[in-house]
Amino acid sequence: MSFLDHITRCNNADLSQFEPWYIGETRVGFLHQEFLPLVAVRTELFSHRNGGWYLSSDLDTPARRSEAMRTFLLELNRRGLFKNHWRDEAYNVSQHFTDPPLMTMERAAVPWFGVRAYGPHMTGFVRRTDGLHVWVPRRSYTKPTFPGLLDNTVAGGQPAGMGLLENLIKECGEEASIPPELARQAKAVGYVSYWNQSGRQLKPDVMTCFDLELPEDFTPRANDGEVHAFELWPVQRVFETVRDTDDFKYNCNLVLIDFFVRHGLLAADDRHFFAIVEGLHAQAPQAG
Q: In this predicted model, what pLDDT tens digit does every residue of 24-82 receive, in sequence order?
A: 999 999 999 999 999 999 999 999 999 999 999 999 999 999 999 999 999 999 999 99
Quote the CA–CA distance of 196 and 112 in Å, as a whole number. 12
Question: For position 285, what pLDDT does the model report?
Answer: 85
pLDDT of residue 182 exceeding 50, the answer is: yes
Which residues are CB-neighbours of 162 under 8 A, at least 6 positions away?
170
Residue (of 261, 285, 288, 260) closest to 274 by Cα position:
261
Which residues are CB-neighbours of 246 under 8 A, at least 6 positions away?
1
At 43, the amino acid letter reads T
pLDDT tens digit string along 120-155? 999 999 999 999 999 999 999 998 889 999 999 999
Question: For position 287, what pLDDT does the model report?
Answer: 60
Q: SS3 string of 37-105? A: HHHHCCCCCEEEECCEEEECCCCCCHHHHHHHHHHHHHHHHHCCCCCCCCCCCEEEECCCCCCCCCEEE
pLDDT of residue 84 exceeding 90, the answer is: no
pLDDT tens digit string along 95-123? 999 999 999 999 999 999 999 999 999 99
Which residues are CB-neighbours of 49 under 8 A, at least 6 positions away?
none
Enumerate the β-bridge partners of residue 208. Answer: 120, 191
Look up the CATH number of domain 16-113: 3.30.750.160
* Whole-structure pTM value: 0.95
CATH 3.30.750.160 maps onto the chain at 16-113
pLDDT tens digit string along 243-268? 999 999 999 999 999 999 999 999 99
Residue (of 171, 202, 272) closest to 21 by Cα position:
202
What CATH architecture applies to the domain 3-11+117-279? Alpha-Beta Complex (3.90)
pLDDT of residue 288 exceeding 60, the answer is: no
Mean pLDDT of the chain: 96
CATH 3.90.79.10 maps onto the chain at 3-11+117-279
